Each structure stands twice: as C-alpha cells, then as structure tokens.
Amino acid sequence: MTDIPYKIICSDRKTIALVINSEAKLTARAPFDAKESEIISFIKKKKRWILDKQKKISALNNKHSPVSLKNGGSFLYQGNNYTIKTGGVSKIQISGENLILPKGCKKEKVIAWLKREAKKLIFERLDKYSSLMRVSYQAVRISSARTRWGSCSGKNNLNFTWRLIMCPLSAIDYVIIHELCHLKYKNHSPAFWEMVKKFYPKFKEQKKWLKTNRKIMDII
C-alpha cells in the first residue's frame, strides 16, 4: 500500500504514467494488464516527485483563492493584485493600487464590469494582431468559459473567456495570437506553432503561465 491517495485509469497503453490534476489529486494511467501491485510500486518510486508537485499545485491554489469583495480584499486584474476599497464612488474604478467599488456593490455588477473591460481590451488586441498577421475572422464572442481561454471554430468564429482580463497582457496577447493562427491552421501542427512563434517568439513562457495559473478561472 501507499500513503498517497490515488485512482487508476486503465486504457490501451504500454506504460504507467502519473498525472496530477489542478486539485493536486493523483491519477495513475496504466495498461489493462498492469497489476495494482506494479502501480503501487511505481507510485512509491515517484513519491518525492509526486509530493513536490502536489505541494506546488496546492500553493498555487491558495494563491488564487476565491475573490472576496469586502474592504481590504485582493483582486486580480491584468496580472496585478489590487486592494479592494469600498464606498466614495458611484461606479467601479481603479485608482493606484486599489480597485474601488461603490458601497454595497454586488458580485454581478463586478462581473459585468469585468466583461466590458475584457471585451474592450480583447477587441483592441484583435485589431492590432489580425492586421499585423493579415488574417480575418467572421465573428467574436466573449464567453464565461471556465475551461478554455479561447477557441476558433471551423467557420472562423473566435471565442474568448472574459476571465482573460485577470491575466497579464502578455498572456492575453498569446491567447489572441494563438487563436488567430488557427484561422490558417485548424490544428496544432509544427506549421501552426511556427506561425505562433513568428508573431510571439516567447510564447512558451505564456503557455506555461496560463497552464500553471489555470485556477484563476475559478476565483470569481
């Protein structure tokens, strides 16, 4: 037995692989004919790596804890943390290092404001990069997705979650360029990544940041 909780998923594969999800839970993916004793032995062998990975994920989850709109709370906007202040204004605004909310402001109003801000910024960046890349799209939709930062349909319609507004501008730009490249390549072929690299040479850094900070999607 092992003191690390886990679940097993068997499939038509040849080797055992360990996967730790965004909740720091461990899954062992194994061949159909793998014995549980083999899987446990493999988990024990990788124990140090597993615990280190789970610790890092748990730390990130605590870093991106659910938003509290109370006075003194912390709020993430374009990659920066702002301190929430309430009262003294009639509409939501940013002043220095503070996000100022009208007294009694509800979460729904904050989300509506974030959606407007996201739409404005995303369209600005889309105009910039679509012109630079010489590509054109059919329509754009700002969604409330929690699982995907952006997508491109077969009909060249683009979708972006408003939650991007909480990410740094560099990450937002990467997502936009990524989806604009899908207008030409409907896959993740080497040619697709070459095009991404052409317009965003350091795309791997932003790709990693988005994966590491995916918990942002669940904080509000």
Structural domains of the chain in order of their starting residue, each with its CATH number: 6-56 (no CATH), 110-218 (3.30.2010.10)
> What six digits make up the tokens of 185?
């390549």
pLDDT the model gives residue 1: 67
Give me the percent of the chain exceeding a pLDDT of 90.
71
Q: What does the alpha-carbon distance between residue 159 and residue 188 come to, in Å, rounded to a whole number?
A: 17
Q: Quickly state the pLDDT bin for 88 (edges 50, 70, 90).
A: confident
Residue 59 has pLDDT above 70, yes or no: no
Helix (H) or strand (E) holding 60: helix 47-63
Query: Any bridge partners for residue 142, and if so which?
Result: 160
> pTM above 0.75?
no
Q: What does the alpha-carbon distance between residue 35 and residue 77 come to, in Å, rounded to a whole number?
A: 48
pLDDT the model gives residue 104: 87
Q: pLDDT, tens digit, for every residue of 15-46?
A: 999 998 867 889 999 999 999 999 999 999 99
Average pLDDT over residues 59-85: 79
- Spatial CB neighbours of 138, under 8 Å, sequence gap ≥ 6: 155, 156, 157
Q: Quickly state the pLDDT bin for 65 (edges 50, 70, 90).
A: low
pLDDT the model gives residue 32: 95
